[in-house]
Chains A and B, each alone.
Chain A
């Protein structure tokens, strides 16, 4: 019998599990975690535990993970510059509410490129708005300030 050397089984890529505010589970690879700078910092302490992202809903978290994956593809040269630009434009072509959710979440998770993409998009839409369309007397604003202050 031949003594064949068995090839070592490929090491399973380390996945980190994230859980959104509404309980959705997202196993994500290293490449994505790298982009979520706020989460990256928690990694050494978290170990294998699921990381709760209590400020972000599943819908938004899914989109952000999608963004990170696509931009990782671009980094690895699987996508050309024009392709990623077009993809980005399509990505932010959403209704205002969703756009703001992405803005706040990308700021919270510290996904720098996405944050600036959403800020620029919001700035562009504001050029044609009137003060009445932009403003709204609402005391909830103060509630948000206390929610999102990162200590």
Chain B
């Protein structure tokens, strides 16, 4: 605490200590962050750091005002996007007025992902979209970055998407059958963003058919089974039909019901680091 120090010079945002800049930036909307990427090299560096991406995601996810959350429309679970295509509106405007008209997604490069597909799930701001027969896409709507996963040759029955805390990878899980007419086999495959590849998973089949439920000792697989089961319960659900129940529910319950349909804007990249 040296008294010889001169009084601090006039302050601008970028003059602040890095930890304070980070504190401020981590609360901004992704749109604003993308705009400020060009302010300086250090800001750009900060925004692409893994730690900052996680901090921003955590702050956004735990924000009780849901300032940066969006609701997706026209994407009933287990069924194809409706003819009007994938649309969205902010959670805030949806809660203010459940009859609000959603807007088309403003992302010309990825427009092809808004029609003719299935919403597999969403996690940390990344959407997983399936375009049959076997094309999966990971898409961050806020940053407009998307990536197609390596194709797989399976007749897909069920799929799920989530984050595996243990490995730190985003994973897509698929259950399907081979195309062979005579000996149709049920196969499970999972994709890891860490390896950017698919691996086959051993399945212990209990009952086979549409909406089959699988049991396996693998902990992560059990989570995906749970997801698939939930998807089955909510088949055909569209947010627009839930207006009356939603208005009376609190935020947490809202999220539980909306699950697949609500995503948090984040900086998480769909592109694996090693690509």
Does B associate with A? yes
CB–CB B13/A100 < 8 A:
yes
B218 within 8 A of A: no
Cβ-defined contact, A103 with B1, below 8 A: no
Determine whether the beta carbon of B7 is less than 8 Å from that of A57.
yes
Task: Give, as a whole number of angstroms, the nearest-CB distance from A117 to chain B.
Answer: 13
Is B24 a contact partner of A52 (Cβ separation < 8 A)?
no
Residue B187 interfacial (CB < 8 Å)? no
Q: Which of B5, B14, B15, B38 has the most CB of A within 10 A?
A: B15
Query: Known contacts being A52-B1, A100-B11, A101-B11, is A145 close to B18, with CB within 8 Å?
Result: yes
Contact B5 A123 (CB under 8 A): no
Is B7 a contact partner of A136 (Cβ separation < 8 A)? no
- Pair A100/B29 contact, Cβ less than 8 Å: no
Q: How many residues of A contact B (CB 8 A)?
A: 33
- Residue numbers in A under 8 Å from B12 (CB-CB): 100, 134-136, 138
Q: Is A85 an interface residue (CB 8 A)?
A: no
Most A-side CB within 10 Å, residue of B3, B7, B11: B11
Are B17 and A148 in contact, with the CB atoms below 8 A? yes
Known pairs A131-B39, A134-B36; A104 contacts B16 (CB<8 A): yes
Neighbouring B residues of A141 by C-beta, 8 Å? 14-16
Q: Which chain A residues lie closer than 8 Å to B5 at the CB level? A: 21, 54, 147
A55 to B7 Cα, complex, angstroms: 8
How far apart are the CA atoms of A24 and B12 in the complex, in Å? 25
The count of residues in chain B whose C-beta lies closer than 8 Å to any C-beta of chain A is: 29
Q: How would residues 129 to 151 of chain A score, 1 for a CB under 8 Å from any chain B CB and 0 otherwise?
A: 01100111110110011011100
**Quick check: is A84 within 8 A (CB to CB) of the other chain?**
no
Known: A144-B8, A144-B15. A131 touches B3 (CB 8 A): no
B27 within 8 Å of A (CB atoms): yes
Instruction: Specify which of B2, B27, B28, B35 is in contact with A131 (CB 8 Å cutoff).
Output: B35
**Residues of chain A contacted by B18 (CB below 8 angstroms):** 145
**How many contacting A-B pairs (Cβ < 8 A)?**
88
B residues less than 8 Å from A54 (CB atoms): 1-3, 5
- Residue contact B1 to A123, C-beta cutoff 8 Å: no
Q: Which of A131, A137, A145 contacts B17 (CB 8 A)?
A: A145
A137 to B14, CA, bound (A): 8
CB of B178 to closest CB in A, whole Å:
52
CB atoms of B27 and A123 under 8 A apart = yes
| A119 at the binding interface (Cβ < 8 Å) | yes
Task: Say whether A103 contacts B16, CB under 8 Å.
Answer: yes
Q: Which residues of B contact A137 (CB under 8 A)?
A: 40
Given contacts A52-B3, A55-B1, contact A140 B9 (CB under 8 A): yes
Asked whether any CB of chain B lies closer than 8 Å to the CB of A122, the reply is yes
19 residue pairs bridging A and B, Cβ less than 8 Å apart:
A22-B7, A54-B5, A55-B1, A55-B8, A57-B8, A100-B15, A103-B16, A104-B11, A104-B20, A107-B20, A119-B27, A123-B24, A126-B28, A131-B35, A131-B36, A134-B12, A135-B40, A136-B12, A145-B18
Q: Which residues of A contact B (CB under 8 A)?
A: 21-22, 52, 54-55, 57, 96-97, 100-101, 103-104, 107, 119-120, 122-123, 126-127, 130-131, 134-138, 140-141, 144-145, 147-149
Q: Identify the 8 closest CB pairs spanning chains A and B, nearest first.
A: A135-B39, A100-B11, A54-B1, A123-B27, A131-B39, A136-B12, A148-B17, A141-B15
